[in-house]
Amino acid sequence: MELKLARIDLNTKPKTISFDKLLESLKEDANAFFYFDKTNSHKDLMEAIKKFEGHGLNVYFREIRYGLDQDDYLYQVHVF
């Protein structure tokens, strides 16, 4: 499963990361925040959350709005 990370600059394309790399990063510290781009499908994010929970991790998921426009948002996933 490939997910798109949040953009640092609005004019660039989002970078992708595999779910396996996200799990690897949790081996060092089981408490992490991940920020994902709005172009990810809600279905893919819910599937990733279920996979995290399947590995015995707790997940908090929310949408963060950073502007007044309806399309100015990103997703935050807190895994602990």
The three-state (H, E, C) secondary structure of 46-63, written as one string: HHHHHHHHHCCCCEEEEE
Query: Is residue 55 very low, low, confident or very high in pLDDT (cuts 50, 70, 90)?
Result: very high
Domain boundaries, given as residue ranges, for the chain: 2-79
Dist CA 80 CA 66 (whole Å): 24
Q: So what's the pLDDT on residue 20?
A: 96
Average pLDDT for 53-74: 94
pTM for the complete prediction?
0.90
For helices 19-28 and 42-54, the axis angle rounded to 10 degrees is 40
pLDDT tens profile 23-51 = 999 988 889 999 999 999 999 999 999 99
H-helix or E-strand spanning residue 4: strand 2-4
